[in-house]
């Protein structure tokens, strides 16, 4: 029942949270979306500088909202991999300093483990083994969560991540950034069956298709061609295009995940990452899982995209197992999830 102070600064959100036993005592997220949106993507140097500007304010707010004193906090955690190095350094240096000053253990956390454990925030009794569909701005992965710290990647994307596909399609439809929430909203007014789009299956050299891998670049190109063709004929029915694209992404992710769960005999599925907020994915995956007698859990909506509560949740699982990180731990821009135990000494 540890109380963890957690910091997340791996990309363009400065976030601090206090988490106790899968309960969020406070969660502050300061987004840099406005800062980067004029460039159409995250500018690493600007991100690090903005984290420096925001981190102390977020810390103070999180501690005040939770109404805790330092002696109530058991450990301090921060995302240490993967992510933008300069951005990760701001959060990890802050966490290490607090850990030294207040004499608390420090835990470095793998960002994707945070997305995996976000579902714990809505499911107090959930325990591995289970299958996680991780769909975010940078990842589309199907992960077998065998135990805390023990992961096997069963499926991945060969090109664009699911969130990236939403962002790119929104850009070509001139809808703004980030594209996921905008397309999700607009698709409600459109016909998801208006246009037939490719599912992006990966051929295997021995014949047939990879059962769990995805590819979204062909789908994105198909949307581009479709909009060019529609434009030449008159107005683009943007809501229909958005709904058809979203329906295809949800269908692909649902098929792959359900097949993987059945093949591996896993009866519980969790979903994490920004695209876990998508309403069509939520409804298609829930319906398909129910039809197969499988359980599916999604994080609360506000903990799908980057936040520190999910980092606190992951750290809490490691803390309970006695895992602690060295204060000399270096941040890493890349780190496969299977190597996560390298963060602990
Ligand atoms: N309702 C939604 N439907 C679809 N996509 C969404 C929705 N809400 C957010 N997204 C997408 O989620 C992505 C952001 O998610 P997240 O914050 O988890 O990614 P990230 O942290 O940038 O990537 P990673 O965790 O892989 O490093 C964006 O691409 C955004 O468009
Ligand atoms: Mg993320």
Per-residue pLDDT in tens (0 to 9) along the chain, 345 residues? 799 999 999 999 999 999 998 999 999 999 998 888 888 778 999 999 999 999 999 999 999 999 999 999 999 999 999 999 999 999 999 999 999 999 999 999 999 999 999 999 999 999 999 999 999 999 999 999 999 999 999 999 999 999 999 999 999 999 988 899 999 999 999 999 999 999 998 999 999 999 999 999 999 999 999 999 999 999 899 999 999 999 999 999 999 999 999 999 999 999 999 999 999 999 999 999 999 999 999 999 999 999 999 999 999 999 999 999 999 999 999 999 999 999 999
Reported in sequence order, the residue ranges of the chain that DSSP labels E, i.e. its strands, are: 3-8, 13-20, 23-31, 75-81, 106-110, 130-135, 140-147, 150-155, 268-272, 295-297
Of all helices (H) and strands (E), which one includes residue 66?
Answer: helix 44-66
Nearest CA to ligand 1 atom 19: 137
Residue 341, pLDDT score: 98
Assigned token pair, 152: 């096997």
In a shared domain, residues 241 and 268 = yes
In a shared domain, residues 65 and 191 = no
Residue 231, domain member (yes or no): yes
Ligand 1 centroid to 234 CA: how many Å?
A: 32
Query: How many angstroms from the chain centroid is the CA of residue 14?
Result: 15
In a shared domain, residues 147 and 292 = yes
Helices (H) and strands (E) in the chain, counts: 10, 10
Mutate-to-test residue for ligand 1 from 299, 305, 314, highest number of ligand atoms within 8 A of CB: 305
In a shared domain, residues 155 and 291 = yes
Residue 107, domain member (yes or no): yes
In a shared domain, residues 133 and 114 = no
Residue 19, pLDDT score: 98
Residue 343, pLDDT score: 98
Residue 177, pLDDT score: 84
Residue 212, pLDDT score: 97
Compute the distance between CA of residue 65 and CA of residue 43 in angstroms, rounded to an integer: 31
Nearest ligand to the CA atom of 33: 1
In a shared domain, residues 61 and 35 = yes
pTM strictly above 0.85: yes
**What's the per-residue H, E or C state across 123-180?**
CCCCCCCEEEEEECCCCEEEEEEEECCEEEEEECECCCCHHHHHHHHHHHCCCCCCHH
Residue 123, domain member (yes or no): no
Residue 291, domain member (yes or no): yes
Nearest CA to ligand 1 atom 29: 163
In a shared domain, residues 174 and 309 = no
In a shared domain, residues 287 and 248 = yes
Nearest CA to ligand 1 atom 25: 136
Residue 226, domain member (yes or no): yes
In a shared domain, residues 293 and 308 = no
In a shared domain, residues 246 and 142 = yes
Nearest ligand to the CA atom of 177: 1
Ligand 2 centroid to 65 CA: how many Å?
A: 24
What residues does ligand 1 touch, defined as CB less than 6 Å away?
11, 111, 115, 136-139, 163-164, 166-167, 178-181, 184, 273-275, 277-278, 305-306
In a shared domain, residues 263 and 327 = no
Nearest CA to ligand 1 atom 31: 180
Nearest CA to ligand 1 atom 27: 138
Residue 41, pLDDT score: 79
By C-alpha distance, which of 272, 306, 307 is closest to 120? Answer: 272
Mutate-to-test residue for ligand 1 from 10, 118, 137, 335, highest number of ligand atoms within 8 A of CB: 137
Q: Domain of 334: which CATH number?
A: 3.30.420.40
Q: In what order do the strands lie in the sheet with 3-8?
A: 23-31, 13-20, 3-8, 75-81, 106-110
| Rg of the chain on CA atoms, in Å | 20
Compute the distance between CA of residue 173 and CA of residue 155 in angstroms, rounded to an integer: 29
* Structural domain count of the chain: 2
In a shared domain, residues 166 and 261 = yes
Residue 191, domain member (yes or no): yes
Of all helices (H) and strands (E), which one includes residue 312?
Answer: helix 309-320
Q: Please give the residue range of the domain that contains residue 86.
A: 3-118+304-343
Residue 13, pLDDT score: 95
């Amino acid at each position: 029942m540890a109380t963890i102070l957690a910091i997340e600064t791996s990309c363009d959100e400065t976030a601090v949270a206090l988490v106790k036993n899968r309960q969020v005592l406070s969660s502050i997220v300061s987004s840099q979306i406005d800062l980067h949106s004029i460039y159409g993507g995250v500018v690493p140097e600007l991100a690090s500088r903005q984290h420096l500007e925001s981190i102390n304010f977020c810390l103070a707010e999180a501690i005040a909202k939770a109404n805790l004193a330092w002696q109530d906090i058991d450990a301090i955690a921060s995302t240490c991999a993967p992510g933008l190095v300069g951005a990760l350094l701001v959060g990890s240096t802050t966490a290490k300093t607090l850990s030294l000053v207040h004499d608390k253990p420090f835990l470095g956390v793998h960002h994707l483990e945070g997305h995996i454990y976000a579902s714990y925030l809505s499911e107090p009794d959930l325990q591995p083994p289970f299958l996680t569909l991780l769909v975010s701005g940078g990842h589309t992965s199907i992960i077998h969560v065998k135990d805390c710290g023990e992961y096997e990647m069963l499926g991945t994307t060969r090109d664009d991540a699911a969130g990236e596909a939403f962002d790119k399609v929104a850009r070509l439809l001139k809808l703004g950034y980030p594209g996921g929430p905008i397309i999700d909203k607009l698709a409600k007014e459109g016909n998801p069956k208006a246009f037939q789009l490719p599912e992006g299956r990966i051929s295997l050299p021995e014949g047939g298709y990879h059962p769990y891998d995805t590819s979204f670049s062909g789908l994105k190109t198909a949307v581009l061609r479709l909009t060019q063709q529609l434009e030449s004929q008159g107005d683009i029915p943007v809501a229909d295009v958005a709904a058809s694209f979203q329906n295809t992404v949800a269908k692909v992710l649902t098929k792959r995940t359900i097949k993987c769960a059945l093949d591996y005999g896993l009866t519980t599925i969790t979903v994490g990452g920004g695209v876990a907020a998508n309403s069509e994915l939520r409804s298609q995956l829930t319906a398909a899982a129910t039809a197969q007698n499988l359980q599916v859990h999604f994080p609360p909506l506000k903990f799908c995209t980057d936040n520190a509560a999910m980092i606190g949740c992951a750290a809490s699982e490691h803390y309970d197992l006695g895992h602690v990180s060295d204060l000399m731990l270096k941040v890493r821009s890349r780190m496969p999830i299977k190597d996560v135990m390298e963060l602990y000494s």
